[in-house]
Amino acid sequence: MLLLLAISPSAWCLSAATALHEADITTLQAEMDAGRLSSHELVEHFLRRIDALDRHGPTLNSVIELNPDALTIADRLDAERLKHGPRSAMHGIPILLKDNIDTADRMHTSAGSLALMNDRPSEDASIVQRLRDAGAVILGKTNLSEWANFRSSRSSSGWSGRGGQTLNPYDPARSPCGSSSGSGVAVAAGFAVVAIGTETDGSIVCPSSVNGIVGIKPTIGLVSRRGIVPISASQDTAGPMARSVADAAIVLAVIAGADAEDPATDALNERSIPDYPALLKDRQALRGARIGVARDLAGFHEGVDVVFEQAIVALRAAGAVIVDPANLELDESLGDDEFTVLLYEFKDGLAHYLATRPEAPQDLGALIDYNRAHPQQEMPYFRQELFLAANEKASLDSPEYLKAKERAQRLAGPDGIDAAIRRHRLDALIAPTVGAAWTIDLVNGDHYPGGNASTAPAVSGYPHITVPAGYLHGLPVGVSFFGPAWSEPSLLQFANDYEHKTNIRQTPMLPGPAP
C-alpha cells in the first residue's frame, strides 16, 4: 500500500519521496535553485509514478500520451538555470495538457478521437507557446471525454475512443467527471505538478471538484483559444487545474494574454493583467468581503448541503459578511438557449479548426462518417446524437442562433450574476460546484447528482473558481466562487484565504508499488 501523506511545503524535503509529487511550485523552485533537485529528476519521478499508478497498479488511465522529449527538455532547462537562472516560476516544472490542445512536437492532439490520429498540428496552441516560453516542461497529454463531451447525450465522462475510460483516484468505480477528466485525475493523483483543462460549461470545475483539486475557469478573453479544438466561440476557455490556489494562480499568470488570432482577447489590449500570485500574499482577503450564497444552486443533496454549510461557517469565521440568500433566479429557458448556441458554434468552429489539420476529416459530416465506419472503436457504448444535431444547423447568421445567444448571455450575465451582485452589493457568489462523483455507467451514461454552479459563469463568460470544501462518504466536494467579468483577482484572493483557513484537501489513497 502506498500511503500518500499531505505534507506542508515547509515540511517537504527531497528525501521524502512520497511528498515529492505533492510539493507545490514555490517549494520545487526553491529546491531546484538550491541544487537539491533538478527538473530532470522531477520529470523522471513523475514518469515513474505514471507508469506505476496510471499505466499499472490502480490503472487510472488519465495520461493518454507522454512526451518522448520531456527529459531532454528538462536537461536543457536545468543547464539554462545554472547559467542564467530560471525564466519564471514555471521553469522546469512538469505540466500535463488536455488532449484537445495543439502541440507541434512528437505528440498527437486527438480530442480523444481516432479520427485525428493520422495528423499532427503544425503549430503550438497559443497557451502552449506561453508555457514553453516560461520554461515549463510539457510532460504529456491527458485523456478526456471525447470531443470535450460534445458527441453524445448519453456519454460517460472520461471515456474516449483513443484513451478508454479514466477512473477517479478516490474510488475507481466513480466518475472523474468531464471533460477535463484526465487533467483532474492526474493532478489529484500526483502525476504532474499542474495541468491544463478546457471548459465550455463545467469541464474544468466539475472534474476539479470531484477529484478534490482547484480549478479556474477564466473570463472569456483572458486566455487565448487558438490551437484548441473548439466547441463554442462564446464559451470555450482553457484554465489551470492544480492542488492549490497558489499553483493555479502561477499557471494562470503564464497563460493569460492577448492573441491577435483570437478576437476574444482584444479586450486585453486596453486592460493590464494583474500579478495573480502576488495578490495571494493577502491572507485576510475575506475579512469584510460580502459573499452571497446562491441558494437556488444548492439543495440537491443533503450530504452536499452539509459540506456547503461547513464552508459558509468557515467563510464567516474568516470575517466574510455572508448574504444568504443571494439567488441568481435564472430563467428556465437558459439551458435550451445555451444548447442551441453550442450546436451552431460547434459546427462552425470545428470546420475552421479542421482546416488547420489537412490530413484529418475536414468537417463535421466527415467525422460523422468516420464514426459510422469505425463503430466498434468509436461507438461501442454511445452514439453521436450531438454531432448529428449540430450538423443540421445553418450558419451563424441564422436568426435562431442570434436570438438564442443574445438571450442566453443576457440571462446568465446582466440578468443573472450581475443583477445578484448589484442587488446585494456583493464581492462574489458561492455555491456547491457539483455533487460527489457518481458511479461510472457505460451502458446508460452519466447521471449527474445535481448542482448547476457552472452554467451561469460559463454562458456569461465570467470567471469561476472551485476549491475543495469537504468529503461525502470519502468523495470530494468543491465550493465555487464566481463573480463578474474580470474579477479573477478578488476570486483568487477569496479562494486562497478560504483554502488556507480550512486546509480541506486530502490526497487519495492509491494502492500499488511505490515508484
User: Does 2 have pLDDT greater than 80?
Assistant: no
pTM of the model: 0.96
3-state secondary structure of 208: helix
Average pLDDT over residues 77-92: 98
Average pLDDT over residues 259-274: 96
User: Average model confidence (pLDDT) for the chain?
Assistant: 95
Average pLDDT over residues 99-124: 97
pLDDT of 8: 32
Q: Return left, alpha or beta for 216; rule: phi > 0 is left, psi -120 to 50 is alpha, else beta.
A: beta
3-state secondary structure of 127: helix
Average pLDDT over residues 129-145: 98
pLDDT of 360: 96
User: Does 28 have pLDDT greater than 50?
Assistant: yes
pLDDT of 11: 32
User: Does 5 have pLDDT greater than 60?
Assistant: no
Q: Show which residues are catalytic.
A: 98, 179, 203
Dump pLDDT digits (tens) for 216-247. 999 999 999 999 999 999 999 999 999 999 99
- Decide: 159 and 145 in contact? Cβ < 8 Å: yes
Give the separation between CA 456 and CA 439, rounded to whole angstroms. 26
Confidence of residue 474 (pLDDT cuts 50, 70, 90): very high
Average pLDDT over residues 281-301: 96
User: Does 514 have pLDDT greater than 70?
Assistant: no
Q: For the chain, what are the domain ranges?
A: 20-502
Give the separation between CA 8 and CA 280, rounded to whole angstroms. 17
What one-character-per-residue DSSP string does 100-123 give?
TB--SSSS---TT-GGGTT---SS
Average pLDDT over residues 202-208: 98
Least confident span in 17-31, 111-125, 173-187, 372-386: 17-31
- Decide: 154 and 447 in contact? Cβ < 8 Å: no
Average pLDDT over residues 163-186: 98
CA 363 from centre of chain: 27
pLDDT of 439: 98
pLDDT of 16: 45
pLDDT of 19: 81
Which is it for the CA torsion 301, 303, 306, 307, positive or negative? Answer: negative
- Decide: 243 and 22 in contact? Cβ < 8 Å: yes
Phi, psi at 419, each rounded to 5°: -65, -40
Confidence of residue 449 (pLDDT cuts 50, 70, 90): confident
pLDDT of 14: 43
User: Does 93 have pLDDT greater than 80?
Assistant: yes
For 472, half-sphere exposure in the C-beta direction (CA atoms, 13 angstrom radius) is: 24
pLDDT of 452: 85
Cβ neighbours of residue 170 closer than 8 Å, sequence gap 6 or more: 188, 211, 212, 437, 474, 475, 476, 508
pLDDT of 512: 53
User: Does 451 have pLDDT greater than 90?
Assistant: no
CA 42 from centre of chain: 23
User: Does 359 have pLDDT greater than 80?
Assistant: yes
User: Does 61 have pLDDT greater than 70?
Assistant: yes
Q: What percent of the chain has pLDDT over 90?
A: 94
**C-alpha grid cell for residue 122?**
503544425
Give the separation between CA 334 and CA 95, rounded to whole angstroms. 35
Please choose, from the candidates 151, 118, 135, 21, the residue with its C-alpha nearest in 3D space to the C-alpha of residue 78.
Answer: 135
Q: Does the 20-502 domain belong in CATH 2.60.120.620?
A: no
